[in-house]
Amino acid sequence: MTLARAAGLDAVETQWLMIGATPCLLARRYDREVAPDGSLLRIHQEDFCQALGVPPERKYQTEGGPSLADCFNLLRQWSTAPVVDIRSFLDGVIFAALTGNADAHAKNFSFLYRGASHRMAPLYDQVCTLVWPELSATLSMKIGAANSLPEVSPEHFRQLAAKAGLGWPIVRERLAELTAGLEKLLDSDTLDLAPHAVRLSEQARQVVSSRTARMQRLIG
């Protein structure tokens, strides 16, 4: 999550803490606002499965759940700022692919409702699932014809652009920019990420480093 923020994505702020002997991940609530009188106001959230009428047990595309094209079409039809939110969603898809997250399913993307505004929520629940070899590398939502993380290439993003009605030059540009940006962040010896000096685990760093280096070669 902190790596996503460092790469310029709109992601929830998180902090790693030790409370006594218990390791904890603290996430700043993005679905609450402070009213003028100091009380907390709840902002209604609806994830993409809910917005598409898909039950949670079918959140994976292989089980009949939404595809990335479905999600892009949903943003195009329902967001009150579709151009901005489609860009944010695209960034989230690219970031998940580059950082080894196979579990970026439709319940991990949401809308926030403020009056008549329907806008995409910040990115949340971004996890490097490839750190755990026992977890499946099958993509929750296929990228083009790619079924699993190891096979994802620029060609699959070109296929996604065609299926989702996106301009390939824009998709290619964001893929190149985020790949280069992550490589630059990983170039630090310590990779201390503001604001809480979070340090990637060596396993996660190796996964992200190998995936960005491979994508950079394929883009080149």
pLDDT of 16: 84
Q: How far is residue 163's CA from residue 159's CA, in Å, rounded to a whole number?
A: 6
Structure tokens at 55: 């039950």
Q: Which CATH architecture has domain 2-219?
A: Orthogonal Bundle (1.10)
DSSP for 13-52, written as a single string: -EEEEEETTEEEEEE--SSEEE-TTS-EEEPEEEEHHHHT
How far is Cα 168 from Cα 92, in angstroms, rounded to an integer? 17
Q: Which one of 37, 85, 103, 187 is the catalytic residue?
A: 103
Strand partners, 26: 15
* Domain residue ranges of the chain, discontinuous segments joined by +: 2-219
Q: Compute the distance between CA of residue 70 and CA of residue 75 in angstroms, rounded to an integer.
A: 9
Average pLDDT, the chain: 94
pTM to 2 decimal places: 0.94
Annotation says 103 is catalytic = yes
For 156-209, write each residue's pLDDT tens digit.
Answer: 999 999 999 999 999 999 999 999 999 999 887 556 676 666 778 889 999 999
**pLDDT tens readout for residues 148-157:** 999 999 999 9
- Tell me which residue of 51, 57, 96, 56 sits closest to 74, measured CA to CA: 51
